[in-house]
Chains A and B, each alone.
Chain A
């Protein structure tokens, strides 16, 4: 799959031009789409995230927009750099006159952006950046995040291991050693902290916990230290250059373990990982919101099922991808939640003002199964410690097999039990 930055920008421009000519019931509504279309994050999921958002806008406009008012996206490239993200957000709200900025891949960008958008009195709709620190204790009124937050990754990962380690490895949770390695930005630190806290709660020993820079040219010393610590499972939180570097050096460095668990971002780019490592990543797990194709359609509402099919068909048509990455689902789903369930009622009932958007967001009440990623939507109110966070978001544990992923936790919605420990023929399995 090849998605060029220029094709993304051209797609957004064409979409915007089409909307400008659309016959509608009023002036178009301009929305800023802020993604990393260049730089390291572009290839680590941000481009599929932006494509998903564009498909949602395209579909929303085809269905009549918000009371006849079409959406006119204004695309911006944050170039995988926080200072560029802030400058672009300033441009969007100051020069492009948008009231809503949507997207945001990286938590390192989301932390300052959330402060800035709140101060400017505009709406920030976060589709991907998951660090709990973005919202925790901030009591923002203008920042909303429908997707999961990093604490849920920690809960999911540790609960999954605790549930399955005794049965599959004959090691009790309080003796099952884990190694936590993470990139050192807000995303990596947030998830790693949640992993540590959840492990400590159940007495699961941590053999090693260590951060590293996502642009580090070498991680072989980290591999050596993991070999010395001998964890039963390695839990990595990283983007993409660092994940492939680590796995390559881990294999060359003779690192063996019973399970490897990723936590979104780079691990969600299954096709990329499979292209690089082939069957070596079979039976690795990944914690993330579910990609829509991984869910049993029977467990989704009829509207969600229909949207699921539209997204998958359009994403494949646009990108020639064999499978839509999780970030495409996130981009589409979370944008659709905003457009259909927040913006539309805000325009119809409140004229589309920022106050009306805020009220509409806090009124959203979608039950579990009502979105294409399976989770429901109910945003925490401003007095909540995690104000603006979707309280019904859900992280699942999925397991890879031949470049596909299936849900293996929570057990209630799992497609089957996990393969654990890694089978003996896996390059990373204990011999």
Chain B
């Protein structure tokens, strides 16, 4: 590792420790906010791992997330809790692979539409299974506190960062950047583009499912309508794009201001939260095409920053 990488690692570890101590120095209010931010940070960062380099906009986050909450809902009494996010991640990855095999050969808008429909499809399948089996509403009553959920999410976040860093250095990451720039060139260079895309699409699928599994004890009552709420997918996309997908830390730079702003708007003008989502999107398209990351890089270039 170079000196710069070691420096970055130390900074990241320091920031992580600072976050992990939030329950110690922060008020319960900030712990609740922190849990929400950690959730979105994990979801948006893992989303950007795939959608950043490939430019495939995935709206399937809610589908994976919902599957994860149902894994916990079904399994928390029979299995130790630590096993549930792992199982959820496995199911999420398999589901992502299946979806990827079907859709990632298609390009652009087909993929977007399919992933949007997928959350609804999975919701209907879950409901159908419940109906067939006469299954009742699920109550996830555990002794898991918000603090523990927060730490679990932080741990998952650290894993996602590590994974992102490794992928960025790997042949897979390189292949995906080529695919993102020009898929035809990538094919002609001998890259198995479908395989590379499917492999990477499994990452956000697994992470979102694990996140859902961790958050189920927070919701207590699991029902398909809230577990698969499509709004989640859009929030993740907007936050990630606002921060910028060009760098690993980009999505978090979008998550934090967006979550704070959402909170302020909820307090002051509760009916306008969806408007915020729309305005943020316009802002990204017209002013910040590269998100905050793009802005940062532009400013650094202009004012002669280096390093």
Do A and B originate from a single complex? no
